[in-house]
Amino acid sequence: TALAATMPLSVTVAPEIENAAWLVRTYAPRGVRFNAGHSFAPFEKVEAAVGWGVRHVDHLFCAMSDRARLRQTQTYPMRGGLMEATLYFDELTTEVIADGKHLTPELLRLAYKVKGPDRLALVSDCSRALDMPDGPYLVGPLDGGEPFLKADGVGILPSGNALASSVAGMDQCVRTFHRLTGVPLEVAVRMASLTPARIAGF
């Protein structure tokens, strides 16, 4: 459709993978917006990615490198990762999964304090288990997606040892962020509407 042809294209890339620099440097000048996410990059690799043109980071504090994870492969000196770089670089916008299950109130407040309402968006990261009863579901296609369980108001891996997705809609995320952080409701609404629209290029 005409609308789809005019919509900005966003791509999430792990900065540490082979050819990530080529991908961003080649397509960012053509209008593609690049996010860093699902990444175990050290701080300096994220800094390089900012130079390539990466401007957003997916779901802060989730599925990303940090000092503790990187320390498992290098005892000293301790290094920062994607989490620390996200908080450090003003050029980077980011988002939080505000379902009340992924992040504690103090992490939500920290993200808001450092990034502010114009550089921090609320996202649901919701799966098809929204408004459905507890039980097994799939992330991705029904004919080959990854299984997960809806339980205790969140999606978890079948093993029960990690989160798999949110099962909360955006309206719940707005209310939850407002309740857990004390941020005014109208600001939380902006973080779920105008802020992500600007980040996406609208």
Q: Is the pLDDT of residue 137 over 70?
A: yes
Compute how many other C-beta atoms are within 10 angstroms of the C-beta atom of residue 199: 21
Q: Average pLDDT, stretch 107-136?
A: 96
The pLDDT assigned to 1 comes to 53
Query: What Cα–Cα distance (Å) separates residue 97 from each residue in 9, 59, 105, 192?
Result: 21, 6, 12, 11
Q: Is the pLDDT of residue 156 over 60?
A: yes
The pLDDT assigned to 101 comes to 96
Q: Average pLDDT, stretch 132-137?
A: 96
Q: Average pLDDT, stretch 43-57?
A: 98
Q: Is the pLDDT of residue 177 over 80?
A: yes
The encoded tokens of residue 169 equal 């809609």
123-146 in b/e form (b: 16+ CB < 10 A) is: bbbbbbbbeeeeeebeeeeeeeee
Query: What Cα–Cα distance (Å) separates residue 16 from each residue in 22, 67, 93, 202?
Result: 12, 16, 19, 28
The reported pTM is 0.92
